[in-house]
Structure 1
Amino acid sequence: MKKILIIDDHADNVFLLKDRLEKEGFEILTAYDGESGISKAKEDLPDLILLDIMMPGLSGYEVCKTLQSDPNTKTIPIILVTALTEAENLKEGLQAGAFDYIRKPYNKVELIARINSALRFKETNQLLLEIEKIKTFAATVVTANHEIKQPLTLINLSTAALRRELNKDEISKEAILKRIQFIEDAAKDIIAVLEKLGSIKKPVFTDYVNDLRMIDIKSNNEQS
């Protein structure tokens, strides 16, 4: 069941919206001022917010800006429900981060249509974010495999050489120390690659092979 938070200082407006939307199968949360609306949004993380613009204390514009600036609430679509009809008022609301607006008095069919449109937008946006996470994870695996393969090969060759040396009747300390140095250098290279991958905040991708992508470690570390 989708959760919708209604923020409006007029109890009768809240009651009417709540009654209509509950009949449509939505779970309704309510708040009667901007500050409590912000707290409720951060606490319950609703799927959608219906927000009045003209409220005492924090206006709908301020509430919208606050929620859009918070990483935990910025993906929640906000629909302004307002009696204001001036284009500048609506423009200010959209610039504050609102997804859409509905003018009072609203039509029930239009109200539900706009709500469903906003919910579909959120679902699509979440799907795209998940796809991007999967692509980033895949690119990280490809990059790690590409960057670490050579030092791992060197470690394997060096350990094999150490075994051969230890099986000899006369063991060369110099040969053993040389192979140990190879292993230590390879381990440092692997650690450096992992540290670079771990420090990336906004990955820059580059084409690899067979439609695979990898993370451009050099470009990413030049940015950070």
Structure 2
Amino acid sequence: MDKKRKILIIDDAVDTVELLKKRLRYEGHDTIEAYDGEEGLQMVAEHNPDLIILDVMMPKLDGYQVCKRLKSQKNTKYIPIIMLTAKSDMGDKVKGLDVGANDYLAKPFHYEELSARIKSLLAVKEAREQLVKEEKSEALNQMMDEVAHEIRNPLTSIGGFARRVHQKLSAGDPNKRYMEMIIQEVTRLEKMVQQLVDLKTTVLFYKEQSNVNDIIMEALKPFQQKCQEKGIEIETDLLDNSPPMSVDIEHMKVALCNLIENSIEAMKDTLKKRLRITSHVSDGTIEVQIADTGKGIPKDKIKNIFDPFFTSKTSGPGVGLTLALKIIQEHRGSVSVESKPGIGTTFTIRLPIKRP
């Protein structure tokens, strides 16, 4: 299933917006509309579009001002912008390109030409994103090798000596508590190193026919006692007669465990604690949702949560979510995240029923 691209149309001419919206949606794109510069900037912040069609002459903020602001910000500088204007003077065109527009089209224009330019800019954006992903993956692999090698041996020594000292200390010794803190942190780092090793070895797959519901229930088992102790209510709503899938059972179990653990961690300091896991079939895929009533993730942090060692307000640094994403992508699946601070977070996993 191809991902629909989101295109933001910013133009104060309602007729132009409606025409572009109909044509773009007919071509399979999603559209968002804004009718002045300020509203356009607000829509960019809310929807993070893949491309912007931007009129020049608008109230409040003109297209040049909007373009300049977007191209000066780290989060929006790489969004392609096509400027539309009734001005055909070369100086206006140069001004648009100078403030960062990727293309410039004078009104009236042929839609076929605009469509071709949209396709070209989206292809360039997709190629850039793929290159960044590959470079990040290569850097990650190198980092994993170095970290696992340089940290594992010292951690083993520190943990081993700390446990020996802890055993020899009397129950009332105040240093016993400090030893417990050291052991706890060493255990956390050992787990992180193991996740790095797991991340490196996920390229080795053994796929077999399995039922996703069985994998979900197996992934839940290690957390049932912990949820009971923490007062977390577990709800499951799994589809009947789940179609068989070709998956690496152990790897998929690891992915689900990491997502479940993240949800449990997010509810650490909340009053309402509910973990809800559902599965159903949608558009040729099996969708698994893992929802919590935790603190939620701020909007500006969501795009980074799958980066290794990223720290959010809901959980500490690690590679659990990175590992989950990699495993799911190796199964030709995807993960999306919806979150609202103070309400909770939902991870949606989509896995193809049949291999494309």
Superposition deviation, residue 59 in structure 1: 1.2
Q: 1:93 to 1:151 in 2, by over 3 A?
A: same
Is structure 2 residue 94 aligned with structure 1 residue 91? yes
Structure 2: distance between partners of 1:44 and 1:153 = 46
1:109 to 109, 112, 119: 112
Unaligned runs of 5+ in 2: 165-185, 187-308, 310-356
Structure 2: distance between partners of 1:149 and 1:11 = 62
Structure 1: distance between partners of 2:98 and 2:149 = 44
Superposition deviation, residue 14 in structure 1: 1.2
TM-score, length-scaled by structure 2: 0.42
SS in 2 for 1:106: coil
Q: Which residue of 1 aligns with 2:126?
A: 123
Q: Over residues 106-141 of structure 1, what are the superposed CA-to-partner deviations in whole Å (9 max), with x where a residue is unaligned? A: 112111100101111111111111112112212212
Q: Which residue of 2 aligns with 1:11?
A: 14
Amino acid across the alignment from 2:12: D
Superposition deviation, residue 104 in structure 1: 1.0
Q: Which residue of 2 aligns with 1:31?
A: 34
% identical aligned pairs: 48
Structure 1: distance between partners of 2:7 and 2:76 = 13
Of 120-129 and 133-142, the range deviating more from structure 2: 133-142
RMSD over aligned CA atoms reads: 3.4
Higher relative contact order (CA 8 A, sep 6+): 1
Whether the 8 Å CA contact 1:50–1:81 is kept in 2: the answer is yes
Unaligned runs of 5+ in 1: 163-186, 188-197, 199-224
Superposition deviation, residue 152 in structure 1: 7.0
Q: Over residues 78-131 of structure 1, what are the superposed CA-to-partner deviations in whole Å (9 max), with x where a residue is unaligned? A: 111112222222222122221112221111211110010111111111111111
Superposition deviation, residue 64 in structure 1: 0.9
Superposition deviation, residue 73 in structure 1: 2.1
Superposition deviation, residue 29 in structure 1: 1.1
Is structure 2 residue 82 aligned with structure 1 residue 79? yes
Q: Which runs of 4+ in 1 moved over 3 A?
A: 145-155
Of 51-60 and 146-155, the range deviating more from structure 2: 146-155
How many residue pairs get aligned? The number is 172
Q: Point out the structure with max Rg over C-alpha.
A: 1
Q: Which residue of 1 aligns with 2:45?
A: 42
Q: Which residue of 1 aligns with 2:288?
A: none
Q: Which residue of 1 aligns with 2:138?
A: 135
Structure 2: distance between partners of 1:58 and 1:154 = 62
Superposition deviation, residue 143 in structure 1: 3.1
Q: Which residue of 2 aligns with 1:55?
A: 58
SS in 1 for 2:105: strand
SS in 1 for 2:100: coil
Which structure carries more helix by proportion?
Answer: 1
Of 111-120 and 15-24, the range deviating more from structure 2: 15-24
Amino acid across the alignment from 1:25: G
Q: Which residue of 1 aligns with 2:281?
A: none
